[in-house]
Every structure is written in structure tokens, then in C-alpha cells.
Amino acid sequence: MDLKRSRSVKLNDGHSMPVLGLGTLASEEVPKSRAREATKVAIDVGYRHFDAAYVYQNEEEVGQALREKIADGRVKREDLFYTTKLWATFFRPELVRPALERSLKKLQLDYVDLFIIHIPVAMKPGEELMPKDDRGEIILETVDLRDTWVALEKCKDAGLTKSIGVSNFNHKQLDMILNKPGLKYKPVCNQVECHPYLNQSKLLEFCKSKDIVLVAYSVLGSQRDPKWVQGDSPLLLEDPVLKEIAKKHNRNPGQVAMRYQLQRGVVVLAKSFNEKRIKDNFQVFDFELTPEDMKAIDGLNRNFRYFKLPFAAHHPWYPFSEEY
């Protein structure tokens, strides 16, 4: 991607995606109203890409912020790029469109820009986001994701979403969709955890070879929500190499970690509800890392995952047992 000329990347279906997005996931103790405020601040700062999901349970608030900014003339709907995700309890083909319609109703929007399969592991359908059995174990099920994909294609044809993609897929799972007989639309993207400790170089190369954009979450490490992430995980932003490079460029380590991804052709999602950090995270277009910087950051890779989906480790479609 040419960051000097454009701040968006062309997808394989002809639509464009801004290369920097605001992540809207928050842990349960954060008031939902914070998502609304952060979204409004982000629009004022210049963000046009918003990454959300049904399972985050704050789409009403994010949607409200988008609509308020459209109403006051700050942005037009077509300037915005909004992603939502199909949660694991809705993977049966007949549940896919109703799930998207549910998000659209919460958002009070006519369409989303991108609708993606959140994880490749299905859970028991129903109203519970994390259905559990008597022992407290999450109830998983097996759904053929190729059938789920056909239902996403139909959502695109119906105009409910402009583009469709996947998240947390490994290369074999991507291949399974790409090689599906009768495939109508390729996934435009694969959204995965990606940062200097897990730089996903092989998956990135694979995605580029298939004209699929790699979208990175947890680019700044992780917010350490105990529900998803172990408390003793390493603090990426305290890394001495990142700190040294940041000092050289008069930046902070987070900006360096984000710029690293952008220069590799990766779309970056940065999650913050803090006004100063939302602004800081947008200041990544006016400096450049040298080839030496990039090489030094490449050297930090240790294939360390914050987001491991341990409850799904025995599922046949658990994505992280493959090398990439």
C-alpha cells in the first residue's frame, strides 16, 4: 500500500478499506457509553474505519455515534467503513442473515461495509453468547463453514453488506473457502492477532498471494481482559527495541508498532477509549521506519499469542494448531 498517496487499500471485490481503524471491543466493566464517546472522538480526529462485532454488545452505542456524526454533517455514510462480525452461535446457514439483520437493527443502518466470520469454531445456537453445559464448559458444535460462507455471499447479494471476509482463520481454513466448488466471492480479508511478538509473516505472505488483506488486531499487545488473555502475558509496549526506535523517531512505542504493520501492507486496528491515545494512535502517517528499524522489529517475533481460544483447543477447526 502506498501510504504517501492513499490511506486506504483496495479490496479484491473493488471496494476500499481505510488502513487504520478504531477497535471497539471493551471489557465488561467499561460502561457501554464509552464506546459512543470514543467513536465520536475518533471521527473528529479523522478515523473512518470502525471495527465492531455482535459479541462486543455495544453496537447500539457505536451506531448512535456514527448516526450523530452523519446528522451533524461531519461525515457522510459513504465516508465510513463499518465492520461487524458473525458470532459463533450463528454459523448455521439459516441463522446468518438474521444475525446480520440484528446488528443492522442495533446500528440503525441499512448496510455494513464488511461482515466477517468472527472465529472458525461454531458454538451451540441460542441467545447465550457463550453457551455452557452443567460443568461450565462452552458447548461447541461443528458447522461446515463453506455452507456458512454461502450464506454470507447471499447477504452481500442482498445489499446488507458491501464486502465479506473472515477472522482468526489459518491458511488451510482460508484455502478451504477459496477452493470451495461454486465460490462466488473470495474473502476480502482475514482479521487476525498480529504484532511484533506474533508477526504472522507466513500468513501475511499467503494472504497477499491470494489478494486477501491481512487486518491486524491486538497491534499494541493486548488489553489483558482476563476472560480472554492470561495475566502474565508480556507487555509489548515495554519492549526495549520498540522503545529505542520510538525515541529515535520522537514517537511512542505504540505508534512504532502500528507503523511497522502499515509498512508491511497490513491494515491496523487500534483499540482505545482514551481521547489522548485515540489521537496519538492516528499520528502514524507522518513518519517512516527505516529498513533497519523494520528488520529490528521483525527480530522480535516469538510467535506469542495473547488470544488463544483455549476453550476451543479440542475442536476439529481450532485455528491455532497450524503453524500459520
**117: its cell numbers:** 466470520
CA proximity to 7, closest of 57, 66, 49: 49
Contact 50, 107 (CB under 8 A): no
| 264: amino acid identity, one letter | R
Q: Which residues lie across from 86 on neighbouring strands?
A: 117
Which is catalytic among the residues 54, 56, 197, 306?
A: 56
Helix, strand, or coil (residue 195): strand
Residue 56 appears among annotated catalytic residues = yes
- Exposure string for 212-244, b = 16+ CB within 10 A, e = fewer: bbbbbbbbbbbbeeeebbeeebeebbebeebee
Q: Look at strands 267-271 and 213-217 and give their pairing.
A: parallel
Phi-psi region of 246 (alpha: psi -120 to 50; beta: other; left: phi over 0): alpha
Instruction: Specify the pairing of strand 81-86 against strand 49-51.
Output: parallel
Q: Please state, in angstroms and rounded to a whole number, the distance separating the CA atoms of residues 40 and 37.
A: 5
Give me the DSSP letters along 166-187.
Answer: EES--HHHHHHHHT-TT--S--
Q: Is 122 helix (H, G, I), strand (E, B) or coil?
A: strand
Distance (Å, whole) CA 256 – CA 245 = 7
- Alpha-carbon distance of 72 to 40, in angstroms, equals 11
Buried b (16+ CB within 10 A) or exposed e, 135-155: eeebebeebebeebbbbbeeb
Distance CA 270, CA 222 (A): 10
Q: Which residues are catalytically annotated?
A: 56
